[in-house]
Structure 1
């Protein structure tokens, strides 16, 4: 009987040790994988930021100089992140994550970079579900249409001309697809208006949430 008990205890001890080792290895693998995923996400974000604002314009850690606001995105209460670019502590530009719900197939997420003088340095579509071959022309890999925003502002074209040509505006639509470019133009215009009315609060040294401006 004692031998049976000893064998049972030994088996239980060995099983416990292997269980602990397994948990330890699983935890270690999880943490390593999580760190890798976070680093990959950071690099992807940096690549997107570099696409809309040249690195030469700023010298701060733009990824960590951020502000969250709840009144930027159209028809959404989800906080939007604004990345603030500075040079020698002076404000240079703001890169806004803008979501418009008015795409043909739902939400379109954009990065919109605006300099302190109100001009755009770049716009990129970073997430959408628009129709391949039509609405996906908002992607820089599919078309250069998105580059039409470079250097534009509320002064050029005039505020009332911030629309697609089918709506008597300045910007081209796509052949066979108007809803997608209309949504993007509207979202970029909304971002410019928001920036115009909230610039001083956006570049506040402490995090705060600008109110109004839409």
Structure 2
């Protein structure tokens, strides 16, 4: 399948926090305006975005890391929580940015949170977070020595807009090796964040779709057979 740009939206019942559906609006020319939807069983209590955000908020290690960054003068910026239907459930991915003190500083991607059911991990990269959630690695301890890099991002003059500095990678066949899939997912996610920061929203959407495709294959390989 080819990578395409799509807008995604989860659905929850009024007054409740469980997920009951997920919809994607396809936006490429050949399929423009077509909708893809998944309906979830209402009797299984599938976690919704609000429930996952609540679990992130109450995760001791994540809260401690946010506090350490705040004490060092950095502003913690939580990106959009992506809900990705995979197999029998959903995978959630949320980027975490840090903005150093000072005018016109650009937020820097510093952590990635991955949640799969009750398993939650926050690591420096998507690759590492996936490994922790899947039980392939140990979580990283919180540290106050990991603030924004003072020279990692340029500052912008008033009225200046960032220019695209990266282009989406060409679509390649997915491997059957878990480590290779994790690496590909991480590379696509980091490229998506650079494209988003550069204002290339179409490229960002394509790379996020690529991440979803890789994660789907990864979960197929790591989930036990029924």
When normalised by structure 1's length, the TM-score is 0.25
Rg larger for:
1
> Which structure has the highest helix share of the two?
1
